[in-house]
């Protein structure tokens, strides 16, 4: 499944979280990337991503059938906004708002939970820099940072990626923004949930020896 082919399915899943006025037919297009622009094509960076890398320090490889790996290798087109040794930022093929972009690692990891902490740290360290640039370029003063981790959460392209989505007041992209949030209950059920999560954190830390994760909380 290609980048443009995957977009309608991914966006159909995401649309369940959006306000009804933001339907897939009215918001998202299948316009080829080399014809898409926010205000004008001259405001977007040039298309070619030339660097071809196959392995990083964690021995991750670029996969032949992954659409993001193809973009990283330069085999598929995309509007490149930012690139360094660890990550690449491109415009989303079917944006929710002008300037909606994807931050992806330059090595293949299928989801956020299997991406090495060092790679995630490198990606996250660029979010303020990239986010501020996008807000200034689009005239926005806010943005959402979104991760769809796993199929049930709406992930369709199984190569870790972070969405940076510029926002304006009253754009009503998220239907959940109008929903009344529930209050956390301080009861036995919640305490048991906390204990189960802490147990899993402790188990993962001991089993995988992930020193960079630190120690789970022992109590309040």
The Cα 159–Cα 155 span in angstroms is 9
Check if the beta carbon of residue 101 is closer than 8 Å to that of residue 164: yes
Those residues of the chain that have pLDDT short of 50 are 9, 11-59
Q: Select from 113, 119, 61 the least CA-distant residue to 85.
A: 119
For domain 3-178, give the CATH superfamily: HIT-like (3.30.428.10)
Integer angstrom CA distances of residue 163 from 54, 56, 198, 219: 24, 23, 28, 34
Helices marked H in the chain:
3-15, 24-27, 67-73, 117-124, 127-138, 188-208
- The answer to whether 47 touches 80, Cβ cutoff 8 Å, is yes
- Active-site residue, 199 included: no
Helix, strand, coil percentages (3-state) for the chain, rounded to 5, are 40, 15, 50
Residue 9 in tokens: 């399915």
pLDDT the model gives residue 34: 35
Choosing from 100, 159, 161, 163, the catalytic residue is 161
């Amino acid at each position: 499944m290609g980048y443009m082919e995957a977009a309608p399915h991914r966006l159909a899943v995401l649309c369940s979280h959006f306000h009804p006025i933001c339907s897939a037919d009215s918001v998202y297009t299948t316009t080829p990337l080399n014809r898409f622009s926010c205000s004008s094509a001259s405001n977007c960076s040039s298309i070619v991503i030339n660097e071809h890398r196959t392995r990083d320090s964690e021995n991750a490889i670029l996969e032949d059938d992954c659409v993001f790996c193809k973009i990283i290798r330069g085999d598929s087109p995309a509007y490149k906004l930012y690139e360094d040794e660890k990550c690449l930022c491109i415009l989303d093929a079917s944006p929710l708002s002008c300037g909606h972009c994807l931050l992806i690692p330059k090595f293949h990891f299928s989801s956020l939970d299997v991406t090495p902490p060092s790679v995630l740290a490198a990606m996250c360290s660029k979010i303020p820099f990239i986010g501020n640039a996008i807000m200034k370029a689009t005239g926005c003063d806010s943005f959402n940072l979104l991760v769809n981790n796993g199929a049930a959460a709406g992930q369709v392209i199984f190569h870790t990626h972070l969405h940076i989505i510029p926002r304006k007041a009253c754009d009503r992209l998220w239907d959940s923004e109008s929903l009344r949030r529930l209050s956390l209950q301080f009861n036995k059920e919640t305490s048991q949930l906390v204990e189960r999560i802490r147990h899993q954190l402790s188990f993962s830390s001991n089993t995988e020896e992930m020193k960079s994760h630190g120690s789970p909380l022992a109590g309040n």
